[in-house]
Amino acid sequence: MRVPLWKIAHARSGDKADRADIGLFAFDAQTYAVLKREVTKERLQNHFAAMGEGPVELWPLDNILALKIVLNAALQGGAARSLRMDNLGKNVAAQLLRMEIEAPADLPRLLLK
């Protein structure tokens, strides 16, 4: 089934010069395996295409059930020269949580009421 990431994961983003960076976190190991499989560089590139053309970098961290995502050249040159309301990229994580992936219906978070 199609599931938006906000139902199964949490995330925080920040900035360094012209890079926006995001930590994406599964609440449990089962979901982490799904994130690792589904949240690919290609999908991220597509999801954030409007922010800039820089390549996406991605590292899985099994020890903390997390994906580290970096969007290069995504902040109009950096927070202090950006024209955007969100010049610091604080909401890039919220943008990510709107991404939909294919996931099994029995993930622990999806079973919560």
Contact set with another protein (CB under 8 A): 6-7, 10-19, 21, 23, 25, 27, 47, 49-51, 57, 59, 61-66, 68, 70, 72, 76-81, 83-86, 90-91, 93-95, 97-98
Tell me the H-state helices in the chain.
29-38, 41-47, 92-97, 108-111
Query: How many residues in total does the chain contain?
Result: 113
How many Å apart are CA 30 and CA 16, to the nearest integer? Answer: 31
Q: What angle do CA 56, 69, 2 make, to 5 degrees?
A: 95
Residue closer to another protein by CB (options 49, 111) is: 49
Q: Tell me whether residue 40 or residue 91 sits nearer to another protein (CB atom).
A: 91
Nearer of residues 95 and 107 to another protein, judged by Cβ: 95
Q: Smallest distance, Å, CB 105 to another protein?
A: 19
- For residue 87, the minimal CB distance to another protein (Å) is 10
Q: Which of 31, 43, 40, 33 is nearest to 58 (CA)?
A: 40
Beta-strand relationship, 100-102 and 2-4: antiparallel
* Distance of closest approach, residue 36 Cβ to another protein, in angstroms: 14
Rounded to the nearest whole angstrom, what is the least distance from the CB of residue 104 to another protein in the complex?
20
